[in-house]
Amino acid sequence: MAHHIDRRRFVSLLSAAGAGLAFRTDQTGAARIEAETTVFWSQPDGRDTLVRFFISDIDAPAARLRVFDSAGRFIGTAGAIRIAEARLYGELWLPLSGPLTITTELAIPGERPIRSTHSLRPKPKWSIYWLTVLSAEDLEQRLAPLPLFRRSVELALLKRRRAAVNPVPADPQELQLLDHLDFLHSLKPATRAASELGLELSRVAVARRFQDMPAALALLLRDAGVGFAVATEELEPAAYWLEGPGEARVLVVPGLGFSGTAGLDFSRGGDAMKSAVERWLAALAAAHPSPEPMALVVDCALQDDSDASYRNVEAWNRLYAYPRIVVGEADEFFRRRTLRAAPISAGHNGARGAVDPPPVLQVSSAAAARDEARQRRTAGLIAAFAQALGSSPEQLGGKPIFPLPGWLVFNPSPFTRSDLVEVGSGLFRLVTDVPGTGYVYVADLSGDRPVSWRAEGPAGSDDLVLENERFRVRLSPETGGIESVLDRFSGYEWVDSSGELNGVPAARLEEAVRHELDGLASRISLRRWAPGRGTVETAVTLYRDRNWIEVENRAEAVGDQAVPYRFDFALMSPELLWETPLGIARGAGVERVAALRWIRLRGTEGRAYVSAIDAPLVSVSEDRHLTFWGPRGRARFRLALAGAAEFAREDEAWRFGWSIEPFVAIPVAGGGELPLPRWGSLFALREPGVAILGVEPAAPGEAVVYLQELLGVARRLALGPGVLTFESATLLDLSGKTQDSAEADPTGGVTVPLAPRGVAAVRLEGVAPART
């Protein structure tokens, strides 16, 4: 530990010693002298290092220590004062370019000089990089209540120490639960805050963990100009790469040994700061040996004493050449670790090891956020369409567009599909072949009226069966779970003999009622009760001409934990694959995953797809049985089961997952004569395997289209006019910055380059309705 020498006290002691007082060495022998080098090197050129001397077994209150080099040349004198019983301390700055042997001569009044020889080895010349990376949320909470003058002062202090805005959210773990468009926009709050406050967006992202992040986060960070990341709570021993689509990658440095300024006494300065920094560097060097003497200090919280810390760092750098403290910049630190980074590691979007059941409030919040995201995406699609008509979404309802009254049925998914749509309270229509990211006009004809579910009466034990041409589904009379799904084509039983589908632990069936939807579908509605969960109302639906099974649960969820819905498929050691924001992930030792729209189990027997619109967190057992954690309230599932030879399309998983997105019907009045197509996509894609993730209105006459490549193939995609036309297009990066004008396509559209599983944003200008 460093000790401050009181020069006045030392001189007085030494004077007293020279006044004739005699001091003897310890009776056990001569005084013992130890010399040790330190990490401190003096300004201006870092040539001299601080050497400490400890003198033991001595009664004198002070002494003088002369130092000579190996050739006997005098190089300095160190005064020594008492720091403990029979122990003196002194220090001296000595030039030390390499190993050096010195001789010390201890002078004690009344005693003969004591000579000792010491071998000194220089300590590393450390560079400490101090970053201040603050979340947009913390900055808003700190600065918003302040008067204008005080706010300006705070911002000036932050700029002086080069504070920057953290590009990732305050709790980036929530990123894995976001829908595609929300994920694409997840860095915008930080970008906006940096612009409004006049601060820089940090080139270093800081979060507790990055290994669980969607791999596509690397793509967003790259487009925002962020090349490095610090994971403050990861325990990996070395840096690694987070790799995303389009060869985007970010270097992640784990947080072992990192510190904030609070633990280093930057705010106190002086000897306190000196001692704290020295102890920290010694511990860092012992625990994490590195060929480069570099350390990182990251402050992620606003502190009242931050200005004092900055002033003390300035004073430190005037005194010491090393350890030097570099403020607001750490590129060299990260570049050196780039050379030793581990093999590329993509985010797997899942947790490994034992995982506790999630709290019901967390799952309910995630389900509500996803529902809001779906509504925003659909609203953006409708708003872009309405803006092109010179209208608004609110004015679109009831607007006379076509000659007969009816509905505009919008399909927010990227794929053409058929499904039921609710056109009134409890009233449904089957609408077929609705174009992806588009609409179909359905006239309200007297002979084609909507239908509603009709109760057929209670279902006894023998009536808990649903059948269509493909499947025979049987529910358990004890638990209400699906105990059998028999493929009538192949004879294969899809439910594991020891489990259920949609099983709730310890549930008991209390009531069952059958319903029919006029030749379109059959349903069994159940009321179940489970200890610790309360009442769970369940509806299992099988369609006449659709090879999927729908399940909807509404759970009371009386406890603190989320409601578990277990799906035990009869597949031996299946491969696990699931959708993540802007990508996919594969399971290998994963205990829990955050699946976006679909999760797939593929075995030699076939494939099972599950789409869970309200239950994003899924636990995976060793035998690949799935437990979806549902919120309080509604949890909807859609199941698709097929033999190994079926679902041959490469993008079938996405087509299935998006199929759970509900159609939206907007009533329109009759008497209109707008020359609009009766159906179509807003904009057309010329080839399969690409999805329009969303369409958002921009400035008047403009819309932004987000595209994703699904098949892992680099391509130049043709994006053309559909129901809406456009005059020109501009390519954007994912931070919204303009890249280049899109190349015109010979078919009348534009060409958009897409990396394998990459994402592109295109701003279309001069958007207007197509004329028929």
Residue 186 belongs to a domain with what CATH number? Answer: 3.20.110.10
Residue 213 lies in a domain: yes
pLDDT of 348 higher than 70: no
Query: Cβ contacts of residue 251 below 8 Å, gap of 6+?
Result: 227, 228, 229, 239, 240, 241, 242, 334, 337, 338, 341
Q: What is the pLDDT of residue 20?
A: 31
Does 771 fall in a domain?
A: no
How far is residue 80's CA from residue 599's CA, in Å, rounded to a whole number? Answer: 72
In whole angstroms, what is the distance from residue 466 CA to residue 448 CA?
26
Which one has a higher pLDDT value, 354 or 626?
626
Look at residue 202 and tell me if it is in a domain.
yes
Note whether residue 553 is domain-resident: yes
Considering all CA atoms of the chain, what is the largest pairwise distance in Å, rounded to the nearest integer?
A: 124
CA distances 139 to 134, 159, 174, 262, Å, are 7, 13, 20, 19
Is the pLDDT assigned to residue 145 strictly greater than 50? yes
- How much is the average pLDDT of 437-442? 94
CATH number at residue 486: 2.70.98.30
For 174-178, 312-316, 418-422, 431-435, which range has the lowest pLDDT when averaged over its residues? 174-178
**Domain count along the chain:** 3
Domain check: are 239 and 174 in the same one? yes
Give percent of the chain with pLDDT exceeding 90: 62
Structure tokens of 679?
């159906």
Whether residue 136 sits in one domain with residue 113: no
56 and 165 together in one domain: no
pLDDT digits (tens, 9 = 90+) for 513-571: 999 998 899 999 999 999 989 999 999 999 998 889 999 999 998 888 899 999 999 99
Contact predicate 191/167, CB 8 Å:
yes
- Which of residues 628, 662, 696 is at a domain's end? 662
Query: Is there a single domain that holds both residue 458 and residue 567?
Result: yes
pLDDT in tens, 83-97: 888 789 999 999 999
Mark which of 291, 314, 338 sits at the end of a domain.
338
pLDDT of 453 over the 90 cut: yes
Read off the pLDDT of each residue in 371-394 and give the average, rounded to a whole number: 90
Scan for tokens 């000196």, then name that residue. 274
Q: Look at residue 350 and tell me whether its pLDDT is greater than 60.
A: no
Residue-level pLDDT at 357: 84
Q: Which residue, among 93, 119, 97, 107, has the nearest Cα to 31 in the 3D structure?
A: 107
- Residue 246 belongs to some domain of the structure: yes
The reply to whether 198 falls in a domain is: yes
Q: What is the residue range of 104's domain?
A: 7-120
Q: 513 and 599 share a domain?
A: yes
Instruction: Give the pLDDT score at 703.
Output: 95
Asked if 482 and 631 sit in the same domain, the reply is yes
Are residues 158 and 191 located together in one domain of the fold? yes
pLDDT digits (tens, 9 = 90+) for 622-681: 888 999 999 999 999 999 998 877 766 778 899 999 999 999 999 888 887 777 889 999
Tell me: pLDDT of 2 over 70.
no
The residue out of 74, 99, 120 marking a domain boundary is: 120
- Over residues 10-23, the pLDDT tens digits come to 444 343 333 333 33
Domain check: are 112 and 258 in the same one? no
The reported pLDDT for the residue numbered 549 is 96
- Same domain, yes or no: 137 and 115: no
pLDDT of residue 11: 42
Task: Quote the pTM value.
Answer: 0.85
Whichever domain contains 15, its CATH number is: 2.60.40.10
Both 68 and 165 in one domain: the answer is no
How large is the average pLDDT for residues 53-60?
A: 89
Per-chain mean pLDDT for the chain: 87
Least confident of 257-261, 268-272, 459-463: 257-261
Q: Which DSSP symbol is given to 172?
A: G
Q: Which residue has the tokens 């299935």?
A: 656
Q: Of 42-51, 218-227, 438-447, 679-688, which gets the smallest average pLDDT?
A: 438-447
In a domain, 375, yes or no: no
Average of per-residue pLDDT across 412-420: 94
Residues 728-746 have pLDDT tens digits of 999 999 888 898 888 888 8
**Which of 226, 417, 421, 251 minimizes the C-alpha distance to 343?**
251
b/e code 486-519 from CB counts within 10 Å (16+ = b): bbeeeeeebbeeebbbbbbeebebeebbbbebee
Residue 126 confidence (pLDDT): 96
106: Cβ contacts below 8 Å, ≥ 6 apart: 31, 33, 55, 63, 64, 65, 113, 114, 115, 116
Whether residue 626 is contained in a domain is answered as yes
Residues 143, 93, single domain; the answer is no
Q: Is 745 exposed, middle or buried (0-12, 13-18, 19+ CB in 10 A)?
A: middle
Q: What is the DSSP letter of 368?
A: H
Q: pLDDT (tens digit, 9 = 90+) per residue, 243-265?
A: 888 888 999 988 766 667 888 99
Tell me, yes or no, whether 247 and 165 share the same domain: yes
Mean pLDDT across 377-402: 86
